[in-house]
Structure 1
Amino acid sequence: MSEKKDYTIHLKAFDGPMELLLHLIEKNKIDIYDIPMAELTHQYLDYLAAMREMDMDVTSSFLVMAATLLEIKSRMMLPKREKTEDGEEEDPRRELVERLLEYKRFKKISEVLGSMADLQEHFVGRAPLDLPVRHLPPGNIDLKLLVDAFREVMRSKEETASVPSVIVKPEPYPIEDKMAEILQKLRAGTGSLPFAAVFTKGNRRELIITFLALLELMKKQEVLVRQPHLFGSIVIMLRNKA
């Protein structure tokens, strides 16, 4: 008769019962979707007993998990199992498997974030430097900056807008008419206007059409949009006046 080998436990610190369960599953190469509850419960209880013998802290969460494993094990031993609405037998291990998979995902994410934090420790931040005056934005400013300026105009218009007493049919605003209106305003003055001066009137729909008209004029190279000074006001001007 072969000599029975004693079960050897190599203890290490675990943050919680879920980490201990994952350790047992990975160490014994157990299929997480088909857990042998009797074997897993036995090994889990052996760990708790060894932790007590070594005066390691066994918190209530470890004991609650032990009770959960024993309950699942006892339900697995019942001759008949409860059925779901679809008529399939309910697996008592299902909830435990879902919790283990979710914990495994969060553990993986925490490991990635931890490695990113370790990498970031090798870099030292520096206080912002004053930009030289010669570093001005280019004549053709970034579209994102233009969109942000338009959003600011829209925000100010919405704050002062009032609800009409009657609901009327929305007026059409052809983009060609708005393009002509912008050019007329520029030619009537010095050939340049502040960005906000183009959006002095109109409801939300009309303001959006005006902004699209401005983009079309820029595309056709009839107007230029510039920012003479860093973080300064945006100016619209005729191309032949630039």
Structure 2
Amino acid sequence: MSSQDTLLTHLPANAPEQALAGQPDSTPDMVDGMAFAKLYGEPLFKLPTDLYIPPDALEVFLEAFQGPLDLLLYLIRKQNFNILDIPMADVTRQYLEYVDQIRSRNLELAAEYLLMAAMLIEIKSRMLLPVKKADTGEEAEDPRAELVRRLLEYEQIKLAAQQLDALPQLGRDYVRTQIFIEQSMAPRWPDVNISELQAVWADIIKRAKLTQHHTITREELSVREHMTGILRRLQSAKFVEFSDLFDPSRGVPVVVVNFIALLELAKETLIEITQAEAFAPIYVRLAYSPT
């Protein structure tokens, strides 16, 4: 028998022994015209004569309890007793009847229940004695008070455990599913890293510094003018390489203003800076606007 405490009843466990002793076997050969069992995939129409069935295999479990307090609480709640005014005589009698049942089956399991039975008998005997006042003049505490406190605490914990068990549990009430979603057929260009943009810009500045002019002139540069020029150039080509938008021969000031114009266009989402793959050339195109 398992460690879970049970109220149980027994079916006759000596049927196979009677068959071995030569007594007639009352087991039907078939159940409703069909084999009543399968052994290794083959139908079994008759029980073997040497089959041994352990006595515990024919036990029918009626009620299950988790310990002495669980049994005591069951007896009180089943008969609608007031837990604050327990009729100790009736409860103790029913409790001892259950202990007698399990003691014949499992003495080790009955030890815990015997301890609780002794406590119930002690409480009942203290209730029969005359009530004595304490030294302080107050009335003595009810002998059932400590037992009632333990029962109430146990009932609260048991109800909380039932509420937790009622919550959905992974693997018992639901399973976690995994869904494979195919990637979109539309190409997704990788994002341009700021470090890559800096590297391209540094290369442009390096090439711009190779071209030097000794003529000192004052040139007024307009960011808006360069923005218009970049947009006009992108209208004639779908993609333009980033470095092709700059003319290093015009010097560093022009390249810087042209770069600022490019950043302003990107800020206003008029152009897109894309890259086909990692470490590939960076391209600039007009921003896509749905019709």
Higher relative contact order structure (alpha carbons within 8 Å, sequence separation ≥ 6): 1
- Normalised by the size of structure 2, how large is the TM-score? 0.37
> Higher strand proportion, which one?
2
> Higher helix proportion, which one?
1
